[in-house]
Amino acid sequence: MSGSPTHQAIHAIFRIESPRLVAALARRVRDVGLAEELVQDALLVALERWPESGVPDNPGAWLMATAKNRALDLLRRNDMVARKHEALGHEPGDEPLDLDGVLDDPVGDDVLRLMFVACHPLLSTEARVTLTLRLVGGLTTEEIARAYLVPEPTVAQRIVRAKRTLSEARVPFEVPQASELASRLSSVLEVVYLIFNEGYSATKGDDWLRPALCEEALRLGRVLEGLAKDEPEVHGLVALLEIQSSRTAARVGPDGEPILLLEQNRARWDHLLIQRGLAALARAEQLGGATGPYALQAAIAACHARARVAADTDWPRIVALYDLLLQRVPSPVVALNRAVAVGMAFGPEAGLAAVDALTSERSLAGYHLLPSVRGDLLAKLGRAAEARAELERAASLTSNAREQALLRERARRLSVE
């Protein structure tokens, strides 16, 4: 039965392990698409065997061994075993230094290596980000589609075409030279950002947060920070992730229910992470990157982090930062976030006017946060019936069970007030 606890555990394990498995195998077989197929094969074997034998003590190692065996079988059939056997048979620490050019490898991390391969210049920016989210973030096509506000079939086509392009061009699985890193860095940063966002507010499922994704994104960001010390936007992104991560413990209640920013117990925020984030933001600003998109978002997060209580938040400054961000990254989602800040800084009528100016945006037609924000502002204006309808519509548009429950509860409270 696909919904059994064992099957659920297998899928949870696979989701965590698959990026590392694909990355490690791709480095050996030199083909991203083939590596993903091998890992999928290993999952099918696990779904067949583990319900009877039980989940192994080290499921990641079991899946890797199974995928390697599948790879060896395939290579034998293709008369390639002599050339590939040694690479498949050794762990990274046991490989000869010249096996993958590690003497000229500034990264030394399989997952980051995979990210840079997926962000190859042969691919469009959209294809780079989409493919890396699929392979490294382990996100489904549905989750990526919601992150980009585009149809799911569009995402599926991008993934297929991107893998085909890399395969047909025989792109080597290697880290680009220093002269090529800058051209791929922006796509890699965007991937890390979107992976974190999916962990911070999951698009679907029974949990509002997916901490493993946030932790992986922050880990990758810190590695990138060490790799590109002179790139201000790397520090800006790390600053944003550190500050946002500081709120994790305060963002859910005892039963996993969401707790929104203004209602959080700020004593539960991780002040070490806040200090790390503020230090990274200072580095970005010292390098001349104060108006970079990630640095601006980090500066907005810093406004919240510096406020001891919600009432101390400098909302006019946040609006000004969003104005700068909109100039750098024109986006309906950024405009919606700005509208929230406008409502807090200048009153709900001003906020509602800013939101209503976005209702004709086609990309926001199915975006649940638009009616959610509008519902909050209508409630503050005393327009309870309209607010309730907007919150119920927002609940119908989200696939996250926790968020649905939160929105419906807020709508219910308006019914009894």
Asked, for residue 36, whether it belongs to a domain, the answer is yes
**Domain-embedded: residue 252:** no
Say if 147 falls within a structural domain: no
Residue 375 lies in a domain: yes
Last residue of a domain, one of 58, 79, 95: 95
Q: How far apart are the first and last CA of the chain?
A: 45
Which of 95, 127, 157 is the endpoint of a domain?
Answer: 95
- Tell me the C-alpha to C-alpha distance, in Å, between residue 54 and each of 1, 10, 17, 342, 400: 15, 10, 17, 54, 30
For each of the chain's 417 residues, which pLDDT tens digit applies?
456 777 878 877 877 788 778 878 877 777 777 888 888 888 899 888 998 888 888 888 898 889 888 888 776 766 555 555 555 555 444 443 232 333 234 444 677 778 888 888 889 888 988 888 888 777 788 888 877 778 999 999 999 999 889 888 887 666 666 667 777 788 889 888 988 988 888 877 778 788 878 888 898 899 888 878 899 999 999 999 999 999 999 999 998 889 999 999 999 999 999 999 999 999 999 999 999 999 999 999 999 999 999 999 999 999 999 999 999 999 999 999 999 999 999 999 999 999 999 999 999 999 999 999 999 999 999 999 999 999 999 999 998 889 999 999 999 998 766
Q: Tell whether 206 is covered by a domain.
A: no
Instruction: Tell me if 37 is assigned to some domain.
Output: yes
- What pLDDT does residue 19 have? 77
Residue among 100, 94, 134 nearest 29 (CA): 100
Triad 337, 159, 128: Cα angle to 5°: 60
CA distance 319 to 77: 62
Query: By residue range, what is the domain housing residue 61?
Result: 1-95
Say what the pLDDT of residue 107 is: 45
Partners of 205 in the beta sheet? 400
> DSSP readout, 65-133?
HHHHHHHHHHHHHTT-HHHHHHHHHS-GGGS-TTTTTGGG-S---HHHHHHHHHT-TTS-HHHHHHHHH
The per-residue pLDDT for 391 is 97
Residue 382: which region, alpha, beta or left (left: phi > 0; alpha: psi -120 to 50)?
left
Of 383, 403, 384, 385, residue with least CA distance to 395: 403
Q: Does residue 122 sit within a domain?
A: no
Q: What is the CATH number of the domain that holds 364?
A: 1.25.40.10
- Residue 282 counted as domain residue: no
Number of folded domains in the chain? Answer: 2
**Last residue of one domain, picked from the residues 95, 121, 143:** 95
pLDDT recorded at residue 147? 73
CB 239, CB 224: distance < 8 Å:
no
